[in-house]
Structure 1
Amino acid sequence: MKPATLLSLAAFACMLGACTKLTVENYDQLRMGMTYNEVKQLLGTPDKCSDVLALKSCTWGNEARYVQVNFVADQVVLFNSSNLR
């Protein structure tokens, strides 16, 4: 195959979700105290966020497979995941 064809196939695979940032490796890099922007750089744009008073809760993924991160004053205070493996 030509290199251009391989590159096109790789791009198509990424569009189908093969290049997700929702991985165990990225989850393992989350740390308490990280800012929202640092988490966003690591995991990408969240699928949903809600703000209640000083608490911001964001979820990457869906109900079956997700990472949820809670922020207070723009810093991570709690995070969890489900079905990343």
Structure 2
Amino acid sequence: MGEETWTYEQAGRLTHRVANGLLSLGLEREAKVAVLSPNSPASWLCVLGIWRAGAAWVPLNPGNPVADTTSLRLSSVNSTRPA
């Protein structure tokens, strides 16, 4: 399996793109973003982009049953809505 590498400039551009993409979709600061991804350099760039957007990341375990993942996602969405 090949190893992915980026310069600091490339990594900065990629994290900036992730952050801007999330913000353009309406992500609010301090929101939680669930991430279901294998541990890889690319997934860590996504995490840095989430942080750059002012949000927090919630790692999801791919070994969890789908029902548990769906339940977590729905509870996160409901907890961010105003009462």
Larger Rg: 1
Larger helix percent: 2
Structure ranking higher in strand proportion: 1
Compute the TM-score of the two structures, normalised by the length of structure 1: 0.29
Higher RCO, 1 or 2 (CA under 8 Å, sep at least 6)? 2
